[in-house]
Amino acid sequence: MVVNISDNFVVNPSLKIDHVRLKVSILQTSIDFYQTILGLSLLRVSSDGNTAYLGIESTQGELSTLLVLDQIDQPGIIPNISKNRTEAGLYHFAILLPERKYLASFLYYIKDNLDPQFYEGMADHAVSESIYLHDPDHNGIEVYRDRKPSEWKWIGEHMVYMATEPLDVANLLSQHRDQTWSGFPTNTTIGHVHLHASNLGKAKKFYNQLLGLYHTASYPGAYFFAANSYHHHIATNTWIGTNILPSNADDHRKPGLKHYAIRVTGDNEELNRLKRQLTTNNIAIYEHVRDSDEQSDTSFYIYDSDGIKIQILLRND
């Protein structure tokens, strides 16, 4: 990949992860998991019954889609799902809670209501505290809360200290004994996505040098990238190996990640600036893909170095 970095391109600092779109084996099974077990709201189902939109509803009645689920093209057939992935794609997507008390109430809730087969573990990452799960198709899920940015330890201008230590469960629960889980609260967002990649060097060229994210942290076999001063919006790892297949994003016969969406705030010129950066570096832009009934003129698609599909959205809010 040839990368033009003569202008030291930096993406708009407003960049965030907007939503994640998954292909699932049995749509109703996945709806039940995300709605009943996790606590996302079912916002609507498409007219053909093959796509479900889940997210949160604010106290003002505004709907925010965080997760879109698509029925694969073999309804009623349950593939031989394995958590041992052999292709590039989703490691996990991460649901960010606005306060620590919600993480405590979520932990209380899943202790009594989550089938142990879906549980993965817990960790303290220095910048955040996390609980890990997977859905019926073994799509990884992280539910986490951030520590205050003033508590993060920065190493140089853009590198932040991250670790993987045991979560202090006793402290978490003891400080928030009276919290009851009633679903994901207002201001819940998709905080980041973590991806299986085949080559960290190529991933860095794409996300850091080309897309303009800062390389914020390194971990054995993993790189982390972010806009502005966040710890990471996107991570890539080679933990399942480097000899893996490209993403199956456009194969509607297989469950897995269809795409994840990045949003930036601003006007059309902000979107055009990003388009120019991408096209200058020979990245194909797909502006007329009907991958969603919410498609608009302020949205386009690209593919990363492993064929992982990314939607770029412009938001004015």
pLDDT the model gives residue 77: 59
pLDDT the model gives residue 225: 98
C-alpha torsion sign, points 266, 267, 269, 274: positive
pLDDT the model gives residue 7: 55
Phi, psi angles (nearest 5°) of residue 134: -145, 155
- Say how many C-beta atoms besides its own lie within 10 A of residue 260's C-beta: 23
CA torsion angle 226 56 94 201 (round to 10): -40
**The two three-digit tokens of residue 217, written as one number:** 């942290």
Where in the chain are the domains?
A: 16-315
CA 230 remoteness from chain centre: 14
Q: Pick left, alpha or beta for residue 129 (phi over 0 → left; psi -120 to 50 → alpha; otherwise beta).
A: beta
Angle, vertex CA 123, rays to CA 234 and CA 40, nearest 5: 65
The pLDDT tens digits for 116-143 are 999 999 999 999 999 999 999 999 999 9
- Comparing C-alpha atoms, which of 101, 99, 122, 98 is closest to residue 178? 101
Residue position matching structure tokens 């859905």: 135
Hey, which residues does 94 pair with through a beta bridge?
142, 192
User: Amino acid identity, residue 302?
Assistant: I
pLDDT the model gives residue 281: 95
Hey, which residues does 71 pair with through a beta bridge?
24
16-315 fold: 2,3-Dihydroxybiphenyl 1,2-Dioxygenase; domain 1 (3.10.180)
pLDDT the model gives residue 306: 98
Q: What's the mean per-residue pLDDT of the chain?
A: 91
CA torsion angle 155 232 184 149 (round to 10): 20
- Judge whether residue 4 has pLDDT over 50: no
pTM of the predicted model as reported, rounded to 2 decimal places: 0.93
- Kindly state the average pLDDT of the residues 1-19: 74
